[in-house]
Structure 1
């Protein structure tokens, strides 16, 4: 792997140069508490020190709502609608979100690639950035706290700039085209990089072994935690919407008023909604809120054989943005016997306020 250094004084110049490769999207502060990936006009808006965005970067590749094809019933014809996607740059992804995209790749770029997802992945340039965890982060337990690949460039914070790892031929071309902005990595830079990574590792709240978690979840299907927490759950789907690896969608045909033409679209779906498991004949595979709540935990903690990790990357969004204040990590640790029993009275008042604030933000966001 190639390593170069980007001095701090060249950071904004580098961001400006990235616009030559496509539309630039990066994390910006959109309210007192929240950040999100937005198109960048002024590079000084970019936030380098943030913990998590409201929406994960999957929204650029797996659209929340997407037209698949148009049809004409009279002529028995249909026409696929695949956008002519322009190149774009996503700057500032954390390692967990890069792993989130890798998880989606195993689903949408398998032996039968999804053409709508594939065209966006081919046009997107990924530039990662290092971070310091907060109390909601547990990517270290998921082994997603350091990305070996899945990025074109990755920036690691130094006292006077960034140590840059080059991950792809595109990353090499970006560096080579702007070589005057970069310097050689020195011994001091390597020492600073090592110190930052050691400090970051120690900053995580939890340091324990979760390797047997998925088996305990299967063995504890009747644990009282499921009833207690499902009762609290609002079944709003926030956890799915903000998750970087949730990939379920529903498909609907929208017919025009003439009854002859229309289009088919797919849109994000949530396994927490009653309609998710509903099929013809009014049968529901998961008729109760408890069954849907439990299914999400089993799904997120199942094993992705292609990557050797779980389908949860430990970003903390589902807890941070939960209007009911449900802690995903605390519930998992309860199953593992590492927490006392969680009761409704133990839920803090702070997190629900944060969750409802999120709901007001997302209603006005164009994603």
Structure 2
């Protein structure tokens, strides 16, 4: 990998030159506490030290709402409406969000590529940036706190600038075209980089092993935590829409007023909505809020075999933005036995005497 240094005084000029490669999007402050990726006109509004954006970068590649094709019922044909996507630059992406995109790639690019997602990935330039964790971050437990690939450039903060890792041929071309803005990396820069990474590692709130979490979740399906926490849930779906790896969508045909023409669109869906598990005939595979609550925890902690990671990258958005104050991390730590809560010990003692059917009866009827 190639390493160069961008002096701090050249940062804004470099950002301005990035616009030559496409529309520039970067994290900007949109309120007193919140940030989001927006198109940038004034590069001095770019936030380098933000904690997390409300919406993850996936919104640029997997659109919240997207028209797939138009149709005319009077004709046996349809017209695809793939957008003419212009090149764009996404600056300031954290490592966990880069892993989020890599996970989406395994879903939308492998085997049967999704043409709508693919064209945006090909047109997008990803520039990552280092960050310091806050109380919601746990990407270190998910092994997504340092990205080895999945980016064109990655910026690591130094006292007087940025150590830049070049991660793609396009990244090499960007650096080469602006080579006068860069310098060679010195021994002092390497020491500063190591010190920043050390402090960053120590700043994480949790340092523990979650290797057996996905198995314990399946073994603890009767834990009282599920009932207690799902009661708090508003079923609003914010945990899904803010998640970098949630990928479910629904498809709907919209017919125009003439009753003949229309279009088909897909839009983000949430497994926390009752309609998500509803199928023809009126049957619902997850009829209760508790069922849907448990499904999300099992899904996010399942294993992506291609990357060797869970589908949760530890960004902390689902906890930080939950209007009900539900802590995803705290609930997982309860299942791991790292945090106290009500314990199903008495139930566990009686199961051998009365069988597993007894454990099912203890749950009571779902409402």
TM-score normalised by the chain length of structure 2:
0.93
* Partner in structure 1 of residue 43 of structure 2: 43
Contact 2:224 2:342 in 1 (8 A): no
Shift in CA distance, 342/147, structure 1 to aligned 2, threshold 3 Å: farther
Contact 2:51 2:133 in 1 (8 A): yes
Shift of 1:342: 7.0
Q: Which ranges of structure 1 fall in alignment gaps of 5 or more residues?
A: 344-367
- Give me the whole-angstrom Cα distance separating, in 1, the residues matched to 2:222 and 2:97: 32
Structure 1 stretches (4+) deviating beyond 6 angstroms? none
* Partner in structure 1 of residue 244 of structure 2: 244
SS of the residue 1:283 aligns to = coil
Contact 1:153 1:165 in 2 (8 A): yes
- Give me the whole-angstrom Cα distance separating, in 1, the residues matched to 2:50 and 2:183: 26
- Give me the whole-angstrom Cα distance separating, in 2, the residues matched to 1:270 and 1:341: 28
Deviation string for 1:177-229 (max 9, x for gaps)? Answer: 00000000000000000000000000000000000000000101111000000
Deviation string for 1:218-270 (max 9, x for gaps)? Answer: 10111100000000000000000000000000000000111111000000000
- Give me the whole-angstrom Cα distance separating, in 2, the residues matched to 1:306 and 1:293: 26
* Partner in structure 2 of residue 218 of structure 1: 218
- Give me the whole-angstrom Cα distance separating, in 2, the residues matched to 1:135 and 1:342: 24
- Give me the whole-angstrom Cα distance separating, in 2, the residues matched to 1:342 and 1:300: 23
Contact 1:158 1:193 in 2 (8 A): yes
Structural mapping, 1:28-67, within 5 Å: 28-67=28-67
* Partner in structure 2 of residue 206 of structure 1: 206
Matched residues, number = 343
Shift of 1:337: 0.4
- Give me the whole-angstrom Cα distance separating, in 1, the residues matched to 2:28 and 2:90: 12
- Give me the whole-angstrom Cα distance separating, in 2, the residues matched to 1:227 and 1:264: 38
CA RMSD of aligned residues (A): 0.8
TM-score normalised by the chain length of structure 1:
0.93
Deviation string for 1:270-298 (max 9, x for gaps)? Answer: 00000000011110000000000000000
Shift in CA distance, 240/342, structure 1 to aligned 2, threshold 3 Å: farther
Shift of 1:25: 0.1
- Give me the whole-angstrom Cα distance separating, in 1, the residues matched to 2:159 and 2:342: 42
Q: Which ranges of structure 2 fall in alignment gaps of 5 or more residues?
A: 344-367
- Give me the whole-angstrom Cα distance separating, in 1, the residues matched to 2:342 and 2:219: 19
* Partner in structure 2 of residue 328 of structure 1: 328
- Give me the whole-angstrom Cα distance separating, in 1, the residues matched to 2:49 and 2:136: 15
Structural mapping, 1:106-121, within 5 Å: 106-121=106-121
SS of the residue 1:120 aligns to = helix
- Give me the whole-angstrom Cα distance separating, in 2, the residues matched to 1:277 and 1:40: 39
